[in-house]
């Protein structure tokens, strides 16, 4: 299985869909960095204009609410998280469908066995989906850290951070914000990986390569907008993955139990159906 996984990772990294999608994600991350730099520069110019070189509300401007995962109201950041499921799925989520369609999977199964092939494909799809959404965030974090001070968040300025007392991991944010950001990066990686495997699962039900990628995303968008009117407004909890993978409260409060429950459901569907059907179904 180790050799099969190595081959899958090499195929994934060197295919054009990964390179194109990763380039788009990097571009949006750089765009967000420039947007942040322009914002900080405008603040500095205003302070110079009024003859004051110190920001009286400096606690409101920190690395922790100016990197992509901590921002709200920034168009590049909103765009990135809105298309994040597509960024995760496009690099390799279609691979299993394509290889079953063109017969390549038959040759691999003859050499390594059906179980090793399906598990390797699942693990590779998860890893590639995760790193494609994670690495641009890390790059943005490093760039923003070069010109925005990493000031400790002040609970009195929580309106500027959009992290309130009952938000997920809020205590960690005001005591160890770096660890808080790392936790949200890991959460984003996990969601990106699990969502990519949903496209792999969809290969058993859809007959078109791009439908495998787009239909689950369209269903997620319907859920994203529909859940607010049907569910969230009553209990004020964030149920949309597009929102809760961000380290700020976008619409409603994120709670650990709901986030982990939805991730577990994605895992059950992605892993359970992909592996069960992949091992049981006849490829000939």
Sign of CA dihedral 172, 174, 179, 182: positive
With cut-offs at 50, 70 and 90, classify the pLDDT of residue 94: confident
What DSSP designation does 153 have?
A: P
**DSSP code per residue over 11-27:** HHHTSHHHHHHHHHHHH
Domain count along the chain? 1
Burial 89-106 (b: 16+ CB within 10 A, else e): bbbbbbbbbebbeeeebe
State the Cα–Cα distance between residues 237 and 84, nearest whole angstrom: 21
With cut-offs at 50, 70 and 90, classify the pLDDT of residue 232: low
CB 217 within 8 A of CB 86: yes
State the Cα–Cα distance between residues 13 and 129, nearest whole angstrom: 11
State the Cα–Cα distance between residues 110 and 186, nearest whole angstrom: 36
State the Cα–Cα distance between residues 237 and 284, nearest whole angstrom: 47
pLDDT digits (tens, 9 = 90+) for 108-148: 777 777 788 889 899 999 999 999 999 999 999 999 999 88
pLDDT value of residue 59: 67
Q: Residue 161 is part of which domain span?
A: 2-280
Tell me the C-alpha to C-alpha distance, in Å, between residue 13 and each of 20, 38, 54, 117, 281: 11, 34, 47, 18, 28
Q: Which residues contact 257 (CB under 8 A, 6 or more apart)?
A: none
pLDDT value of residue 279: 67
Which of residues 156 and 25 earns the better pLDDT score? 25
CB 140 within 8 A of CB 33: yes
Phi-psi region of 163 (alpha: psi -120 to 50; beta: other; left: phi over 0): beta
Please say if the pLDDT value at position 197 is more than 60: yes
pLDDT value of residue 112: 78
Q: Which residues contact 53 (CB under 8 A, 6 or more apart)?
A: 47
pTM of the predicted structure, to 2 decimals: 0.91
Q: What average pLDDT does the structure give for the chain? A: 85
Which of residues 86 and 159 earns the better pLDDT score? 86
């Amino acid at each position: 299985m180790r050799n099969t996984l190595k081959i899958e990772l090499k195929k994934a990294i060197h295919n054009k869909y990964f390179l194109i999608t990763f380039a788009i994600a990097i571009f949006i991350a750089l765009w967000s960095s420039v947007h942040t730099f322009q914002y900080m520069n405008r603040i500095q110019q205003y302070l110079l204009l009024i003859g004051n070189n110190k920001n009286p509300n400096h606690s409101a401007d920190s690395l922790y609410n100016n990197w992509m995962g901590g921002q709200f109201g920034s168009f590049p950041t909103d765009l990135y998280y809105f298309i994040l499921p597509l960024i995760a799925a496009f690099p390799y989520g279609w691979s299993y469908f394509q290889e079953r369609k063109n017969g390549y999977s038959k040759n691999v199964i003859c050499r390594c066995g059906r179980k090793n092939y399906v598990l390797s494909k699942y693990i590779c799809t998860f890893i590639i989906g995760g790193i494609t959404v994670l690495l641009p965030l890390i790059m943005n974090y490093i760039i923003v850290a070069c010109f925005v001070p990493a000031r400790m968040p002040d609970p009195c300025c929580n309106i500027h951070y959009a992290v309130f007392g009952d938000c997920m991991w809020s205590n960690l944010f005001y005591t160890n914000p770096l660890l808080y950001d790392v936790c949200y990066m890991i959460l984003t990686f996990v969601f990106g990986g699990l969502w990519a495997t949903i496209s792999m699962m969809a290969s058993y039900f859809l007959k078109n390569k791009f439908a495998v990628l787009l239909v689950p995303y369209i269903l997620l968008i319907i859920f994203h907008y529909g859940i607010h009117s049907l569910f969230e407004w009553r209990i004020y909890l964030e149920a949309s993955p597009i929102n809760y993978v961000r380290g700020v409260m976008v619409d409603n409060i994120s709670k650990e139990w709901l986030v982990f429950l939805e991730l577990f459901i994605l895992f059950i569907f992605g892993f359970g159906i992909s592996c069960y059907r992949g091992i049981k179904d006849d490829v000939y």
